[in-house]
Structure formats: C-alpha cells, structure tokens
Structure 1
Amino acid sequence: MRNTTALVATALSLAIAAPATAQDSTDPIRITTHDWTGQIVNATILAEVLKEAGYNTELVQADYIAQFAGLKTGDLTVGVEIWETTGREAMDEAVASGDVINMGEGGMTAVEEWWYPAYMEERCPGLPDWEALNACASEFSTPETAPFGRYLGGPVTWGGFDDERVEALGMDFEVVHAGTDAALFAELESAYQRQAPIVLWLYSPHWAPAKYEGSFVEFPPYSAECYNDPSVGINPNAAYDCGKPTGPIWKVAWAGIDEKWPGAAEIIREYTLTNDEMGALVSSIDLDGVSVEDAAAGWMSANEATWQAWIN
C-alpha cells in the first residue's frame, strides 16, 4: 500500500472559485491521506477531479483506522481506501452508527497477506502452506527473535490481526512491525538482494509482487465467522485462526455529504481506479522518483475523458 517519503505531511489545500452546483457548500471537502503511496496518490487524484468540478478540497493526514472518528463527526469528509482485508470491521461499525456511509467500491481488489521470496522454498519445503512455514520457523529467525521466526508486519496503524493470528494458530513466530511503509520495502529489497530469509506483509495493488519472485503464504480459508466466533476454525478457543479476507477497496464518507455537497457525492461514487492503474502510479513514485503531485497530474492528463464523464 505505501511510502512515507511521499507522505503529505500537512493538509494540502486546493482552493478554487465556486462549487459546481449552486446547492453545494463552498466549505472544503476534507479527504484523508494515510501512510502508503497508493492511498496518497489516490486521494490526490480525487481531490484534483473535484477541483476540476469546482470544489474546494483539502488533503488531511489521518491514521487509517482512527480516521473513522473524524468521519463520524464530519471533521473529515471522505476516505478513499478502506481495504476489505484490514478495514472492513471498522467500516461496518462506522456505517452501523449512522454517521458514516459506504460510497461504493473504489475499483481495486485488495490482497494482503504474509509473503516470502521464492528462494526460501529450498530452505523451507512445503511452502506456501502455513504449517510448513511454521515447521521451519527457525529458518526465519533473527538474533532478536530466536528461537522464534521473525514476521515483518506493516505499521501498527494498518491493523490486520497478525499478532492475534500467530497466537491463535500457535505459530513459532514473533511479529515485528515496520515503522513505515518505506522501511517495510527497504528491508524486503535488502533481504532479496542478499537472498536472506524473510517473511513479511505484502499487498496488491502494488509494484512489489511484480518486481519480486515469491508467493503468499496459504493459511486456512478466511470466513467472517473465523474472525468473530472463536469456536469456528482449527482453534476452538480463539478467533483469527485463518487467512485474511480479500475483496474490494471501498470509499466511505461522512453521512452529511449528500446534503452538504450533493454534486460532489455523485462524483465520489463514480470515481474509481483499477489495480493496473494503481500499480503503475505507485511504481512511478516509489521506483522512478516521480512526485505524488506529478503522478496525479499525469493520470489526469491521460484520462481526461474518464474524469470529465464523472463530473458532467
């Protein structure tokens, strides 16, 4: 999902003259940004589309899960990426409160799971099965985690229940959370170049699964009951004893958006990006050094017919 070197550290105001329709407020539509590249460029493109439609927007940095507190009160307006894999529970709770609404799928399909490089299959026969991984946990250990294997998770703010799953499945692994998106992928690059043992959080849409040869670990199949009912799954005393869900990346908004910005709400519901588009955008930023703003501008230039249809 994520590169903090591209992080918008302060609110970015995109002030413009007047809203597209007379009934829409001139107050800023506050779109959240988080700590991974794809989400930031996604939010930036949506802000640019709304700007072209005549709206005043702000990009506001917020934690991924904690953003729902601001969305409930209306201090924040729109979240463009709620991943089915990690954010569904928080989204459902917020929508159930009546203060947040689901604005539909954002066009991308999310996969987030433990991942290992292909060269580890010689050292750990039986991969990608999770039980094979656990049987050779020592192959993934470090001086800090020995005798346990080391799993490099994403920043704590991403959620994901990795710690709970390790405990529920009785895995001989210690979860170590990367501090940032950039640190996560810097460690992957270093390990891959050295053919060093590593198992870590990887996700798609992103450039990494295309750049590096490897596979996602296969855990027991996900079910909602596995997450919510400890009696379901291979451990009858614990939840989260299964893999992560896959599915859409959703858009959400403060429940007052349709009344305050009805025209903008229609645009946000129409707005989508594909996995391929996102992969290309993140690759250009993370690997080629293009700025978030320039990448967004390039997308706007190349897809004018698409976004013009959203605002007309």
Structure 2
Amino acid sequence: MKYISVAAAALMTAFPAVAQDSSDPIKLTLHDWSGQLITTTLMGEVLKQAGHNVEYVQADYIAQFAGLKTGDLHVAMEIWETTGREAMDEAFATGNVINLGETGMQAIEEWWYPAYMADRCPGLPNWEALKDCADAFATPETAPMGRYLGGPVTWGGFDEERVEALELDFEVVHAGTDAALFAELEAAYQRQDPIILWIYSPHWAPAKYEGQYVEFPPYSPECYSDPSVGVNPNAAYDCGKPRGPIWKVAYKGVAEKWPNATKTIENFHITNDEMGKMVAEVDLNGKSVEETVAAWMDANKDTWSAWIVK
C-alpha cells in the first residue's frame, strides 16, 4: 500500500529515522473491515513519516494472536473490547504480547434491527421479545426460524453460543465480508425486508439508518466463563457483548527493537466521529483507503505530527 498525498510526501524528510530504532520493517496487521484498514494505514503512514520501515500483513482478526505471540507479526491496531478481550487476555498472560493503550475509539458490537421491525416484533429492544417473534425475522432459507446475520466468521463474537444459551429460535448466518454485511442491510432497508444483524460502532451505519441495538442481559466476564452466572444456569454466553475501548497491542519485542516507534503508536488517538467519517468516505463515497488517509493527514498535520517521538 503506497501513500499518495503529494503534500504529505514532501514531509518524508521532516522526521529522519532514529538511530536506536531498527531499520527492519514493523509488521502491521490488516483485517477485513474498512475502519481497521484505515486505522492501520494511518498509523503506518505516520510511522513512515517518522522514518520507520513499515510492512502491511494480511491476518485474521483472532488468529493473528498466534503471530503476535511469536513475533512473526508486530502490531495490531484494533482489538475490540467487544470481541477481542478473551483472545487479548490470553495473549497478555503469555507475556509475549503487550498493551499499547487505547486508540481513543469506543466500541459497540451488538445485534441491531431497523426501526420498521419494531412494529413486527412488539417488545423490542428487550431481547425476550425475540422469543415470541423469531418468525418475523425469518427468510425463505431459515423459516420458521429467524435469521441473524452475523459478521464474517473470523470476527468471533459467540453468536451461536448466545442463541443456544438464550434458547432463541434463530439461525446464525455469517456474511462473507464486511462489505457483504452492509450490502444486505442496504438492500433490506430499501425494501423494508426483515433483518436483524451485527452492527458495530464506530461506523457510518448507525448514523445513516434508523434502528436500535437489542438489549440483552448485561455482560460480565463471568457470564462468558461460568455457566451458573446469568439467566440460563446451564450455559455461558447468556448475556450481551462487552462494550469498551478499542486497543492497540504488540509483540513484546517491539518496544525493545523500535522504542520510538512504540511510543509513537502509543500516542495514536482518534475519535469515533473522525473514524466514522473516514469509513463513510470509503464505503459510501467510493474513496480508497489510501486517499482517505491522505486527506485526513493533509488536514490534520499538527495532530499526527504530535504523535511522533524521535
């Protein structure tokens, strides 16, 4: 991926590489949703401005932790409290992966339905309403069971476990890609077709479409780990998903091999609103990730320059 902004490219010599940081490439992981690609590309291009060597590596969201633990991968810019906490904690416990702090973005990932479905399923947003009107969300392929459209399988999320634990008459169907997920939402919304699906924030969708998140029993770590906790005494995952920060994590050797780059990554901070606007540029306005990042950097030079430690 190449940075294309002429204005920002002129700054390439403004921050020469620091002697104590290795010239080896810092491997940043790329996943399969626009926001993460933007976050990672933005971080990578700032590191390049600081004189560091950067390599982008495609990796699965959860499976990437194997590479982070061995040092084959170096930095992951978006680990969501909502879906990544369990894998993140396991990686931290090995001592091979470290937390580089919050990105500044706050994560929500949950079942979401368009406003027009509220009349077809009275009692929403309370999750218990789904027990009585699963058929309102049925498709020809799942009838009489409702269909829940989940994110790509690689995102995790324990949706199948939740459906079983809460005894919901729903079939979980996973979208193949992030783009496919929101293409289905767009098509259903235009036709007022039944749909309930995985929506996340920061993203443009909750702002563009009128709808609401389902209110499940409150999340607790014990709900995920102890079957006796929660509304179903015989099953775990009988609650909502966690909410909270989106984190930056790295292989432990990064701080030693690239100390200034590590501090620069720690300083990275962006808001939900800023990210939502950039995702909209890519997903709705047809801009490339590189163009979108370049435009943000051109408009926010003072912000990203302040992240750089040299």
Separation of aligned partners in 1, 2:300 and 2:277: 14
Describe how 1:72-151 pairs up with structure 2 within 5 A: 72-151=69-148
What percentage of residue pairs aligned between the two structures are identical? 72
Q: Is the Cα–Cα contact under 8 Å of residues 115 and 201 in structure 1 kept in the other structure?
A: yes
More displaced 10-residue stretch of structure 1: 163-172 or 301-310: 301-310
Separation of aligned partners in 1, 2:143 and 2:192: 19
| Structure 2 SS opposite 1:87 | helix
Separation of aligned partners in 1, 2:296 and 2:68: 27
Q: Is the Cα–Cα contact under 8 Å of residues 127 and 215 in structure 2 kept in the other structure?
A: yes
Q: In structure 2, do the counterparts of structure 1 residues 93 and 19 end up closer, same or farther at CA, with 3 Å as the change threshold? A: farther
2:216 aligned to 216, 219, 224, which one?
A: 219
Separation of aligned partners in 2, 1:94 and 1:298: 35
Aligned residues: 300
- Note if 1:188 corresponds to 2:185: yes
Separation of aligned partners in 1, 2:301 and 2:262: 19
Q: In structure 2, do the counterparts of structure 1 residues 277 and 92 end up closer, same or farther at CA, with 3 Å as the change threshold? A: same
For structure 2, which runs of at least 5 residues remain unmatched after alignment? 4-11
Describe how 1:185-264 pairs up with structure 2 within 5 A: 185-264=182-261
For structure 1, which runs of at least 5 residues remain unmatched after alignment? 1-11
Give the drift of 1:54.
0.5
Separation of aligned partners in 1, 2:203 and 2:227: 32
Q: Is the Cα–Cα contact under 8 Å of residues 31 and 61 in structure 2 kept in the other structure?
A: yes
Task: Give the TM-score taking structure 1 as reference length.
Answer: 0.94
More displaced 10-residue stretch of structure 1: 17-26 or 103-112: 17-26
Can you list the C-alpha shifts for 1:201-255, whole angstroms capped at 9, x where unaligned? 0010000000000000010011111011110001111100000000000000010
Separation of aligned partners in 2, 1:200 and 1:309: 39
Separation of aligned partners in 2, 1:254 and 1:13: 24
- Note if 1:305 corresponds to 2:302: yes
Q: In structure 2, do the counterparts of structure 1 residues 46 and 309 end up closer, same or farther at CA, with 3 Å as the change threshold? A: same
1:34 aligned to 9, 31, 47, which one?
A: 31
| Structure 2 SS opposite 1:248 | strand
User: After the TM superposition, which parts of structure 1 deviate over 4 Å for at least 4 consecutive aligned residues?
Assistant: 16-19
Q: CA RMSD in A?
A: 1.3
AA at the equivalent of 2:83 = T
Q: Is the Cα–Cα contact under 8 Å of residues 130 and 168 in structure 2 kept in the other structure?
A: no
What corresponds to 1:284 in structure 2? 281
Can you list the C-alpha shifts for 1:270-312, whole angstroms capped at 9, x where unaligned? 0111101100000001000111001000111111101111114
Separation of aligned partners in 1, 2:240 and 2:306: 39
